[in-house]
Amino acid sequence: MTIQLKAKKSRTFKFFSFLILMISTTIICLRLFNIPPILEVISSESGMEFITAILFFLLSLGLLGSHGKSKPSLILYRVSIFCVLVISILTIGQYFLSNLQNINATFEPDTLASNFQRKTPLATAICFLLIGVSILGIQSKSKKVKSIINGLIFITWVINFIAIIIFILNIPSKNADFLIPIPIHSSLIFFFYSGFLLFKNDSKTLNELIFGNYTGSNLIKSSGPFVFGMIMIMGLVLIYLINNEQVDVNVGLIIYSIIAVVFSLTNIFVVAIQLNRSDQEKIIYENALHASIKEIKQYKEALDSCSLVDITDMNGTIISVNDKFCEISKYDRKELIGKTHRVINSGHHSKEFYADLWHEIKTEKSGLGTLK
């Protein structure tokens, strides 16, 4: 991975962390001054929980601190992530231990809401725990640790991808409990955070897959948006028809499956045709290259059979000689490579002759003359 790509990824990640830091700070201030959060505008649910905003604030603060090399930055990074881990563990614990006080109620009492409504969603707390652990281990140089961290980040990404799909398809939360729904504002932040962390932690494979110009990369870029878009559109249409009682659930699933198969096969055929064309062009170029190499080899054999050929670097040091050169000069190849032409200087030509010859070669890329 190039230094430019690393720098670009670092700047993008810092910008995103700073953006989330500003958003979470705004929500914290709105909560403290009892002003309805702005995020309620984009969600039919209650706005982002106070403790969730604090966790995003600490998470962003820790990530920004992890990019610094000074001791204060390192302390900020460790303390912030440690706080994220502690709060997320306590939040998870309150779902399983009845004697634990609600964390949100501690920071933000709300007598108008029930105890469950004021809790940070369990899946949200789990995501904070996974991301916190990942950030602590992401700087490890161990390949095994990096693989585990990538797995945790990927799990977080998948959980929030599912939550986003639930929101897009407008699936009622009572019908999606098994999918562990997360508020859309939190899932979007987790989705991009985990995606950025995957790119940051993966030095080669994932970056080449997404940003590379290989066949697999081009396949993802061309087919990915099409497949995802069609699944979303068909899902929305199906849910709309079922909710309006225009089609039966079973009939709708059958129609959905048939259309999905048709579009999938169409996409496969299109991609296969593109890959075949690419392979055909590759074969044509390979055949042309082999023909050129064969022709050049024939020229070289003809030249070696009748001429003395040696190759030097810009300093005049011999780096290669042909058999004819060794035969006429009476020197072995090992004796010539690494030396200059002084080793075969007959003394017939003056220093000015060689100086002019080398000047001509360096300026005009070729030199014409007779050596004795």
Question: What are the extents of the domains in the chain?
Answer: 3-211, 213-281, 310-364
With 70 as the cut, is the pLDDT of residue 141 above it? yes
- Predicted confidence band at 113 (pLDDT cuts at 50, 70, 90)? very low
Please give the pLDDT value at position 356.
78
Dist CA 344 CA 310 (whole Å): 12
Please give the pLDDT value at position 284.
92
Question: What's CA 120's distance to the chain center, in Å?
Answer: 30
> In the 3-class helix/strand/coil scheme, how is 295-331 assigned residue by residue?
HHHHHHHHHHHHCCCEEECCCCCEEEECHHHHHHHCC
The per-residue pLDDT for range 316-346, each reduced to its tens digit, is 788 888 888 888 888 888 888 888 877 777 7
95 by Cβ neighbours in 10 Å (0-12 / 13-18 / 19+) ranks as middle
pTM above 0.75, yes or no: no
What would the mean pLDDT of 35-48 be, rounded to a whole number? 50
312 by Cβ neighbours in 10 Å (0-12 / 13-18 / 19+) ranks as middle
The per-residue pLDDT for range 354-365, each reduced to its tens digit, is 777 777 777 766
Lowest-confidence range among 4-8, 88-92, 192-196, 237-241? 4-8
Please give the pLDDT value at position 27.
79
Q: Which residue stretches of the chain are H helix?
A: 3-32, 50-66, 71-93, 103-107, 122-137, 143-168, 184-201, 205-211, 215-243, 249-306, 323-329, 333-336, 351-364
The answer to whether 182 touches 123, Cβ cutoff 8 Å, is yes
Mean pLDDT of the chain, nearest integer: 77
Dist CA 327 CA 304 (whole Å): 11
- Predicted confidence band at 198 (pLDDT cuts at 50, 70, 90)? confident
CATH class of 310-364: alpha beta
With 80 as the cut, is the pLDDT of residue 265 above it? yes
What would the mean pLDDT of 199-213 be, rounded to a whole number? 65
Dist CA 138 CA 147 (whole Å): 10
Lowest-confidence range among 161-175, 266-280, 288-302, 334-348? 161-175
Residue 11's nearest CA partner among 196, 173, 182 is 196
Q: What is the largest CA-CA distance in the chain?
A: 107
Please give the pLDDT value at position 122.
82
- Predicted confidence band at 148 (pLDDT cuts at 50, 70, 90)? confident
Question: What's CA 279's distance to the chain center, in Å?
Answer: 27
Dihedral sign for Cα 312, 318, 322, 326, please. Answer: positive
Please give the pLDDT value at position 116.
38
Q: Phi and psi (nearest 5°) for 343?
A: -65, -25
The per-residue pLDDT for range 287-305, each reduced to its tens digit, is 999 999 999 988 888 888 8
For residue 22, give Cα distances in angstroms to 58, 104, 154, 162, 193: 11, 21, 26, 26, 15
- Predicted confidence band at 140 (pLDDT cuts at 50, 70, 90)? confident
- Predicted confidence band at 111 (pLDDT cuts at 50, 70, 90)? very low
Other CB atoms closer than 10 Å to residue 131's CB: what's the count?
Answer: 25
With 50 as the cut, is the pLDDT of residue 132 above it? yes
